[in-house]
């Protein structure tokens, strides 16, 4: 019996270009899924960091606002350390109002907020 052999198919009739295309597609999809997973992981971590910075600011604002409103001596600076960061506020008084700048540091991230307090 004579066996015919072609470059594009083997003895069972499987075409090599289809096998190559299937393997390439499988690898492409696998690498895409791994890449998407890492992007989502980075996005999730940055959202957690952003949330933590907002929580530090809210904590500092809620705790220091009554003291700033009652204070008579300006310029005023308050600092506080947290587990993974710190918060500070610097206030200057301009006539009937105080302008305060909150500086929040969490890990390597830094965010600054401005708030104005008006006095009666």
Which residue in 64, 54, 55, 77 sits closest to 117, CA to CA?
64
CA–CA separation, 113 and 26 (whole Å): 48
- For 47-106, what is each residue's pLDDT tens digit? 988 888 888 888 888 888 888 888 888 888 999 887 888 899 999 988 888 899 999 988
Mean pLDDT to the nearest integer, 33-45: 91
């Amino acid at each position: 019996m004579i066996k015919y052999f072609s470059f594009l198919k083997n003895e069972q009739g499987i075409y090599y270009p289809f096998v190559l295309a299937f393997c390439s597609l499988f690898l492409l999809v696998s690498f895409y899924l791994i890449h998407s997973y890492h992007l989502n992981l980075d996005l999730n971590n940055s959202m957690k960091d952003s949330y933590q910075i907002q929580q530090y600011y809210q904590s500092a604002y809620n705790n220091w606002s009554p003291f700033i409103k009652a204070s008579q001596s300006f310029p005023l600076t308050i600092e506080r350390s947290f587990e993974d960061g710190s918060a500070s506020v610097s206030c200057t008084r301009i006539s009937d109002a105080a302008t305060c700048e909150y500086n929040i540091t969490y890990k390597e991230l830094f965010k600054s907020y401005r708030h104005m307090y008006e006095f009666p």
